[in-house]
Amino acid sequence: MTGPAKTPAFRLAYVPGVTPGKWVRIWNERRPDVPLALVAVTAGEAEDVLRERGADAGLVRLPVDRTELSAIPLYTETTVVVVPKDHYVAAAEDVTLADLADEIVQHPLDDALDWGGAAPPGRPAFERPATTADAIELVAAGVGLLFVPQSLARLHHRRDLTYRTVSDAPQSGVALSWPEDATTDLVDDFIGIVRGRTPNSTRGRAAQQAQGRPGPAGDAKAGTPAKPAKPAKGAKSAKSAKSAKSAGSAKAGGSGKSGAKPAKRAAAPSARSPRRGKPRGRG
């Protein structure tokens, strides 16, 4: 005998520095029926993992190949320079690239910043380190500086290092990406989460599609309750009926019974009626 079918998990890849915890928590609240599995990948291998269906979607660094992958930009990170704590840069609040033009700069092979195909400003190190983690070790040993997104500086935090903002350096953008030809219902649900949609606009719409019926007529957003129907022609509401009854009572002239006619008043004497009394004699 075969056991019950195992519920497929939603596989989310993420690159170093990205913290998907908030979105994972919301997913677990909205989709407790589908477990979410995190897949840690390097920035360089993220696109291949998505193309080969090693993950359903991924939180990756821009740019991505848009010919095969779809992407929704989420946010842009501040760029910082990592230096030893006793370096002169540590005395400043922020610096520019020109301030560091004479410094040795480490350029790891997995650099998350886009320098337009060129090396970062400064004097290049003798050899490029393989990873950002290796470059951090070199900086701690007093060999050069390192430009990274702020999240990576925090990820590789060391007590003997610090970092400062570089105001004019290129920045790193983070995006949600997935294979263009594999936009499943689960992917669409996660898109709704990172975009801040409400539960009704994600799961409610998916449920209606699964049942083969559209949302309420004239509704721009699925899951929004339909407008109440207008009363049939000729039908009176309780409020209008009460108003009509009050109007009828007012026309009755204040009589004790509703609809009774008031008594007719006596006609006033005409101004031209003859005067009664004896006629005057002739003089």
More confident position, 223 or 163: 163
Helix ranges (H only) for the chain are: 21-30, 46-51, 132-140, 150-155, 185-194, 199-210, 238-251
CA-wise closest residue to 174 among 36, 41, 27, 58: 58
Domain ranges within the chain, ordered by starting residue: 10-75+173-210, 79-170
For residue range 66-95, list pLDDT tens digits in order.
999 999 999 999 999 999 999 999 999 999
Instruction: Give every CB contact of residue 124 below 8 A, 6+ residues apart in sequence.
Output: 104, 105, 107
Instruction: Give the distance, in angstroms, between the CA of residue 266 and the centroid of all CA atoms in the same chain.
Output: 81
Q: How far apart are CA 187 and CA 11, in angstroms?
A: 10
3-state secondary structure (DSSP) of residue 95:
strand
Fold classification of 10-75+173-210 (topology level): D-Maltodextrin-Binding Protein; domain 2 (3.40.190)
Write the DSSP symbol of residue 73: E
Sign, CA torsion 239/244/250/253: negative
Please tell me the least confidently modeled range out of 2-11, 47-56, 253-262. 253-262
3-state secondary structure (DSSP) of residue 48:
helix
User: ω before 63 within 30° of 0 (cis)?
Assistant: yes
Q: How far apart are CA 171 and CA 219, in angstroms?
A: 40
CA-wise closest residue to 7 among 40, 32, 38: 32
Q: How confident is the model at residue 6 (pLDDT cuts 50, 70, 90)?
A: low
Residue 200, pLDDT score: 76
Q: How far apart are CA 44 and CA 135, in angstroms?
A: 16
Whether the domain at 10-75+173-210 and the domain at 79-170 fall into the same CATH topology: yes
Mean of all residue pLDDT scores within the chain: 79
3-state secondary structure (DSSP) of residue 164:
strand
User: Would you give the end-to-end CA distance of the chain in angstroms?
Assistant: 144
For residue range 187-209, list pLDDT tens digits in order.
999 999 999 998 876 444 444 45
Fold classification of 79-170 (topology level): D-Maltodextrin-Binding Protein; domain 2 (3.40.190)
For residue range 159-194, list pLDDT tens digits in order.
999 999 999 999 999 999 999 999 999 999 999 999
For residue range 106-145, list pLDDT tens digits in order.
999 999 999 988 889 999 999 999 999 999 999 999 999 9
Mean pLDDT of the region 6-32: 93
Q: How confident is the model at residue 3 (pLDDT cuts 50, 70, 90)?
A: low
More confident position, 201 or 252: 201
Mean pLDDT of the region 32-61: 96
